[in-house]
Amino acid sequence: MLKEYLLSQGSGTVRWSHGMPGVQICRFSLPEPVQEPLRPIPVCGAPLQFEVLFCLTGRLAVRPLQGTSYTVEAPAIFLLSDSSALRSCQYSENLGGILIAVDAKAAKESLVTVCSTLGMRLDTRIVKQKMTARNGCMALCGTPWTQSFFETVRYLSEQEQERYSVFKSVELLYLLCTEVSESDESFSGSGCPVSHSLLEVKVYIQTHLSDKLTIAFLCKQFSLSPTFLKEGFRRAYGMPIHSFLVQQRLRRAQELICTTRMPIQQIAQAVGYEGMSQFNAAFKREYGMTPGQHRKMSETATLRPF
């Protein structure tokens, strides 16, 4: 698959490392290619093989055996499975990013550890079924999940970006098991229809956690009245908009504390807290311990996945 494709490149920078058992990490940077025919992509025949390409620069043109061709252009995420039916691909511009190659069978114990730690259940057989229904590949771009990833990764060092990409690859496989998507006609957990404008507000909050977000600002940004925004958001998502903002900030903070070595003060700023005392108090209310205690606990866990 893409792993073999990168290994076949004679130029550029391709660096491989191991994230955890059964998982390989590849950071790559390929120069602008000379004009050449499309290179074939070997389709891996081993069962339960997945590859997640976090495309940070450039673009990749993908040509399946059936259906129309499409382009994966940065910032975007491309997921491949062993059931992929690709004829060829060709990159343009300076293609660069991080590739996570997962051998689900070899990584089974590590995946179980990660998911149990986070209270998730990952069934790779369901993931494979979902991927097979999509001809074994899918591109993600412009969704709240992808926007959140690319917003966060720019704060991290190269090593932390790679660890974070492993973590998000596991999360992506988990999301494929649940696969709950939002659309203009979607319903919230409370059973109320969610208007397009409220979906836009929710996505904006999730992808701008470091910004100073107020009711007045959001109303101006989306041309909404304060009453509609506050009451509509509470009905649609079952909580006040301020509570949702705090929840999202603290979840992102916990994620960064567990998966990176960013200083806690920098994490606080990255999720929108200007003062450490306010951040510490909010985090302790949510998780029963300070951010420092949470990091110490995650670093000393006996079954640490990374």
User: Would 131 be classed as within a structural domain?
Assistant: yes
47 with 166, same domain? Answer: yes
CB 20 within 8 A of CB 78: no
**Per-residue model confidence as pLDDT tens digits over 202-253:** 888 988 899 999 999 999 888 888 888 998 888 888 899 999 999 999 999 9
147 with 283, same domain? Answer: no
Q: What is the per-residue pLDDT for 184?
A: 36
Question: How far apart (Å, rounded) are the C-alpha atoms in residues 280 and 139?
Answer: 37
204 with 273, same domain? Answer: yes
296 with 260, same domain? Answer: yes
For 278, phi then psi, to 5°, come to -65, -40
**Per-residue model confidence as pLDDT tens digits over 128-175:** 788 877 777 888 887 777 888 888 888 888 888 998 998 888 888 887
How far out from the chain centre does Cα 276 lie?
Answer: 27
Computed over every residue of the chain, the mean pLDDT equals 79
CATH number of the domain residue 268 falls in? 1.10.10.60
Identify which of 33-37, 117-121, 235-239 has the greatest average pLDDT: 235-239
Question: How far apart (Å, rounded) are the C-alpha atoms in residues 82 and 108?
Answer: 16
169 with 206, same domain? Answer: no
Q: List, in order, residues 6 or more apart from 118 with CB less than 8 Å away.
A: none
Show which of 177, 210, 229 is a domain's final residue.
177
CB 279 within 8 A of CB 268: yes
Q: List, in order, residues 6 or more apart from 152 with CB less than 8 Å away.
A: 164, 252, 255, 256, 270
31 with 131, same domain? Answer: yes
Expressed as residue numbers, the domain containing 251 is 196-302
For 225, phi then psi, to 5°, come to -85, 150
CB 86 within 8 A of CB 5: no
Show which of 150, 177, 204 is a domain's final residue.
177
**Domain tally for the chain?**
2
Residue with tokens 């059936």: 66
User: Would 205 be classed as within a structural domain?
Assistant: yes
User: Would 161 be classed as within a structural domain?
Assistant: yes
User: What does pTM read for this prediction?
Assistant: 0.61
33 with 88, same domain? Answer: yes
160 with 286, same domain? Answer: no
User: Would 190 be classed as within a structural domain?
Assistant: no
52 with 99, same domain? Answer: yes
Rounded to 5°, the CA angle 100-104-110 comes to: 85
173 with 200, same domain? Answer: no
CATH number of the domain residue 134 falls in? 2.60.120.10
Rounded to 5°, the CA angle 123-143-137 comes to: 50
Both tokens assigned to 287: 């998780």
Residue with tokens 């009711």: 215
Mean pLDDT of 106-125: 73
**Dihedral angle computed from the Cα positions of residues 265, 296, 287 and 291, in that order, rounded to the nearest 10 degrees:** -10
Q: What Cα–Cα distance (Å) separates residue 204 from each residue in 74, 207, 211, 257?
A: 20, 5, 10, 23
H helix or E strand, kind and range, residue 279 = helix 276-287
User: Would 186 be classed as within a structural domain?
Assistant: no
**C-alpha torsion sign, points 155, 158, 164, 169:** positive
CB count within 10 Å of CB 139 equals 18
Residue with tokens 């993931």: 127
Show which of 147, 177, 207 is a domain's final residue.
177
User: Would 281 be classed as within a structural domain?
Assistant: yes
Question: How far apart (Å, rounded) are the C-alpha atoms in residues 205 and 194?
Answer: 16
User: Would 13 be classed as within a structural domain?
Assistant: yes
User: Would 189 be classed as within a structural domain?
Assistant: no
**Per-residue model confidence as pLDDT tens digits over 77-110:** 998 887 666 777 778 778 899 999 888 778 777 7
Q: What is the per-residue pLDDT for 182?
A: 40
Both tokens assigned to 79: 């997921």
17 with 125, same domain? Answer: yes
276 with 218, same domain? Answer: yes
Cis, peptide link before residue 226, omega less than 30° from 0 = no
CB count within 10 Å of CB 301 equals 12
DSSP 3-state of 175: helix
Q: What is the per-residue pLDDT for 290?
A: 93
